[in-house]
Amino acid sequence: MSIDKDLLDRLMEGRSPGDLFGKEGILSELTKALAERALSTELDEHLSEER
């Protein structure tokens, strides 16, 4: 699976390097969102197996 380059371009558009890589940057936000989504999916899968 690959990430859509157009989506990445839109996320990066008009942002400075600090906006991308800083403590509150989009990379940090994306990492958090991806981790939360993965954990939620794992929990949903685990709970559905118990039923």
- Angle, vertex CA 26, rays to CA 4 and CA 10, nearest 5: 40
User: What phi and psi, each to the nearest 5 degrees, are found at residue 21?
Assistant: -110, -5
**Global pTM?**
0.67
Tens place of pLDDT for every residue, the chain, 51 residues? 788 999 989 988 888 877 888 888 888 989 999 999 999 999 998 888 766
> What is the domain partition of the chain in residue ranges?
16-50
